[in-house]
Structure 1
Amino acid sequence: MAFKLPALPKLSGRTIAVLAAVGAVAVGAVAANASKQESPAAGAPPAAPAPKAPADQTASHDATAAEMKAAAALPQCRSARLVPVNRSWGIPMPSIYASTSTTCNLMYGDDPYRGSNRYGEPDTAIQVLQRNLNFCYATKLAVDGIYGSNTRAAVKLVQRKHHLVIDGIYGPKTRSAMNWRLYSMATRSWSRSCSSPL
């Protein structure tokens, strides 16, 4: 069974104009009422200012920015060395050229040198990092010695997993938090699993 709607009466041009005017007045009245509610009345106390970010969030943001700046200011890792863990095992990791220090960084764009200095082997340092990321974090990176977008994304994954600042820069905090595959010079063999012995 089909329903039939009643026919609406035809409105004259004058009736349509009157209805439009009434609608405009109603809309204007609603808008005026809304603006009165938003602006404070004369003599009324001003509205409270918008809440600011808590001090601990601001401090956290400042600390994160400072940490990122400090990480970026370190020298580039231009070598790799075996860092002893105990008598039998060590960790191959990026290091400063001609030094025992591993307080250096690798970052997006290192392919292999950063700046005008051409010494050391930063591509070796990057390859050591890439191999470790592949084994311990199953990242499937090309071990090419180029710190490109895939390597940066893998480092960010590590930083997220270990609750670090996620900036994609391999530096001392990332180095100390991440898992490493150990190598034994005595037996010339690799560990079967990864650990974070630092």
Structure 2
Amino acid sequence: MRRSLAVATIIVATLGAGMVTGAPASAATPTCNGVGDAWTGDAGPIKIPSYNSGSTQNLSCNMVKGNVSSAVRNLQTELNKCFGASLTIDGNFGTNTYNALKKAQAAAGTTADGIYGPNTRHAFAITRGWWSGTRCMWVDA
């Protein structure tokens, strides 16, 4: 019995040592803190939320309730223009922005979780066709 217990302890200890718990995948995606250019083909560049660090920009960024930035202001403008929201454009991702985003996500056919991220950006782009020149998504902040 002692030997079985010792072997089981070694197996559990070995397996446990190999287990790594990391941050969720979304933690690797930076928080949107500005606006950046996305090219739309013949229609030219449009401004969308981005993470700006030095001279680089990353359009794959997240925004959640509590964020305050020009990226949120940009999102609020587009929620008003493209999805009929009536948000105050203040750059504060509060309850009203959260609820408006969830409605827009549902309309765009993506997960309606109230979190802006790469999946929402992609769904909005397809739904609203911003690359086709309609320029609903996004405008200058």
Q: 1:90: Cα distance to partner? A: 2.2
Distance in 2 (alpha carbons) for counterparts of 1:108 and 1:73? 18
Superposed, 1:149-160 pairs within 5 Å as 149-160=95-106
Equivalent position SS for 1:194: coil
Query: What letter corresponds to residue 129 of structure 1 in structure 2?
Result: L
Distance in 1 (alpha carbons) for counterparts of 2:25 and 2:99? 20
TM-score w.r.t. the length of structure 2 is: 0.67
Distance in 1 (alpha carbons) for counterparts of 2:137 and 2:93? 23
The structure whose residues are more often helix, as a share, is: 2
* Alpha carbons 1:76, 1:106 under 8 Å: kept: yes
> Structure 1 residues 94, 84: closer, same or farther in 2, change over 3 A?
same
Superposed, 1:20-35 pairs within 5 Å as none
Q: Show structure 2 runs of 5+ residues with no match.
A: 1-23
* Alpha carbons 1:136, 1:193 under 8 Å: kept: no
Residue in 1 that maps onto 2:115: 169
Q: How many residues end up aligned between the 2 structures? A: 110
Superposed, 1:65-76 pairs within 5 Å as 69-71=24-26, 74-76=29-31
Residue in 2 that maps onto 1:128: 74
1:104 to 36, 61, 68: 61
Distance in 1 (alpha carbons) for counterparts of 2:50 and 2:111? 21
The structure having more radius of gyration, on CA atoms, is 1
Query: What letter corresponds to residue 29 of structure 2 in structure 1?
Result: L
Distance in 1 (alpha carbons) for counterparts of 2:110 and 2:94? 20
**What's the CA shift string for 1:160-188, capped at 9, x where partnerless?**
11222221000000001115596xxxxxx
TM-score w.r.t. the length of structure 1 is: 0.49
**What's the CA shift string for 1:33-85, capped at 9, x where partnerless?**
xxxxxxxxxxxxxxxxxxxxxxxxxxxxxxxxxxxx53465211011012111
Q: Show structure 1 runs of 5+ residues with no match.
A: 1-68, 113-122, 183-190
Runs of 4+ in 1 over 3 A off after TM superposition: 69-73, 179-182
Q: 1:93: Cα distance to partner? A: 0.6
Query: What letter corresponds to residue 85 of structure 1 in structure 2?
Result: T
1:146 to 83, 92, 95: 92
* Alpha carbons 1:135, 1:181 under 8 Å: kept: no
Distance in 1 (alpha carbons) for counterparts of 2:106 and 2:114? 10
Query: What letter corresponds to residue 92 of structure 1 in structure 2?
Result: K
What value does the CA root-mean-square deviation take over the aligned residues?
2.6
2:48 to 80, 86, 93: 93
Query: What letter corresponds to residue 81 of structure 1 in structure 2?
Result: G
